[in-house]
Amino acid sequence: MKKFFSFLGFVLFVISYSEAAQPDSSVIKRVNELSGIVQKKYAPDMRVEYYQLKQQTTAPLTYKLELSRQEAATELKALLSSENLSVQINEEVLPSGDLGEKIYGIANLSVINTRYGPDHAAEMATQAGLGTPLKVLKKERGHYFVRTPDNYLSWTESAGVSLMTKAEFENWQTAEKVIYTDLYGQAYSEASEASLPVSDLVAGNIMQLISESNGFYKISFPDKRIAYISVKRARSFDQWKYLPDPGADQILRTARNFLGIPYLWGGTSVKGMDCSGFTKTSYFLNGIVIPRDASQQALVGEKLDIHEDDSVNIAKSLKTLKAGDLLFFAANKKTKRVTHTAIYIGNGEFIQAAGLVRINSMIKGAKNYDDFQSRTMVGARRMLTAIGDPEVTRVNKHPYYQRIINQ
């Protein structure tokens, strides 16, 4: 009987201790509330800033915080302390320490596809062309979490990225390079277009130059593959990036070259483009880096007044808009959340990636009138007068291309 009561006492002690060890649910709720406040302040757009809080243990209550800005961790800890919440926060400001010194990378394929999660089935986010410089933030399940020059965060397969140390990356930045200017082509194993291909190429691909002879560039890929491309299909990267600021003619010439290319969600290349990938690439191939998504592009550049009584007025738009301006559209006119973009051509016409890259008009009665887009237009921005602003950046002024990404 004594043994029974001893055992019963032990069970009651364990139950009592377990209950005591469990944190108050109100504490967990308050931690999540404070974390939400901090995330909204420092990472309101998870496409460009990272913030993730995960509970690790309950006794003591411990969380792991991964984030891209140290200030957010500092503020969360201060808020928890101000309310006397006994919580342990183990933070890691990316890039992850697991990467060691190799926290830089270069896109190694003609086009790498990036996604919103480290999984082949995850939604496609964007693309990056061969030679695109990247900041590498962490690795998970055979994928790298990377930041592209337009500040976008997403995941890509490790096979598509060549990792580099800071010194290796700076060597790549200063090395002589060429940029592919044809819409689509191939790099060859020998100085002959009859030889076997090494890789396909798309407009905007950047490769390190080894030598030039007999009408061919001998080039090196980031993974040290050697190939040859015709000098007719590329040009010196240094000469290209120092060209004068583009005008509307150059932007529209590039945009028209994409006519007929199919729409691809997340696409930014001739292999397929979404609406903002189309506008972004039309500017990039003229040496200008603008934000990735339509809703982000709608926040930069010179804002244009095309409204009358809080609604877009087509007649006023025709007087105000200039070739090269970006137009923005919202499928829901109540929220006015931007979901689509296009480039204005002039005389009421615009070019857009919608189904495919095509030219349409906002003027009723025109053969190519697009009723839906004309009804859903909510704003316009002028990028060409904003070149040099923080998010309308010349390639030759961009730290990813010009020494060195801030750590």
Please compute the mean of the pLDDT values over residues 272-300 and round it to a whole number. 98
Instruction: Indicate the length of the chain as a whole number.
Output: 407
Instruction: Output the pLDDT for position 15.
Output: 42
Instruction: Output the pLDDT for position 21.
Output: 53
Q: How far apart are CA 293 and CA 291, in angstroms?
A: 6
Which DSSP helix (H) or strand (E) runs through 15?
Answer: helix 2-21
Strands 133-140 and 143-147, bridge-based pairing = antiparallel
CATH match for 248-386 among 1.20.58.1610, 3.40.50.720, 3.90.1720.10, 3.40.50.300? 3.90.1720.10
> Alpha carbon of 302 to those of 169, 223, 308, 340, 380: distances in Å?
34, 41, 18, 18, 9
Q: How far apart are CA 280 and CA 200, in angstroms?
A: 22
CATH class of 17-93: alpha beta
Q: How far apart are CA 186 and CA 198, in angstroms?
A: 7
> At 35, is the pLDDT very low, low, confident or very high (cuts 50, 70, 90)?
very high
Nearest to 161 by CA among 184, 188, 140, 133: 133
What is the phi/psi pair of residue 337, to 5°? -75, 120
> At 24, is the pLDDT very low, low, confident or very high (cuts 50, 70, 90)?
confident
> At 261, is the pLDDT very low, low, confident or very high (cuts 50, 70, 90)?
very high
User: Same fold for the domain at 17-93 and the one at 248-386?
Assistant: no
Is 326:381 a contact under the CB 8 Å cutoff? yes
Domain locations in the chain as residue ranges:
17-93, 98-241+395-407, 248-386
Q: Is residue 313 classed exposed, middle or buried when 0-12, 13-18 and 19+ CB atoms within 10 A define those classes?
A: middle
What is the phi/psi pair of residue 77, to 5°? -60, -40
Task: Indicate the pTM of the whole model.
Answer: 0.92
Instruction: Output the pLDDT for position 402.
Output: 87
Asked if pLDDT for residue 5 goes beyond 70, the answer is no
Is 47:60 a contact under the CB 8 Å cutoff? no
- Specify the range with the lowest mean pLDDT, choosing from 1-15, 150-164, 193-207, 339-353: 1-15
> At 310, is the pLDDT very low, low, confident or very high (cuts 50, 70, 90)?
confident
> At 119, is the pLDDT very low, low, confident or very high (cuts 50, 70, 90)?
very high
How many other C-beta atoms can be found within 10 angstroms of the C-beta atom of residue 26?
A: 8
Instruction: Output the pLDDT for position 262.
Output: 98
Instruction: Output the pLDDT for position 172.
Output: 96
CATH class of 98-241+395-407: mainly beta
Q: Which two tokens stand for residue 174?
A: 């200063």
Q: Which two tokens stand for residue 65?
A: 């915080």
Instruction: Output the pLDDT for position 4.
Output: 42
Q: Which two tokens stand for residue 253?
A: 């010439």
Q: How far apart are CA 166 and CA 4, in angstroms?
A: 67
Is 365:216 a contact under the CB 8 Å cutoff? no
246 cis-preceded (ω within 30 degrees of 0)? no
Place of tokens 């316009």: 380
Please compute the mean of the pLDDT values over residues 261-273 and round it to a whole number. 98
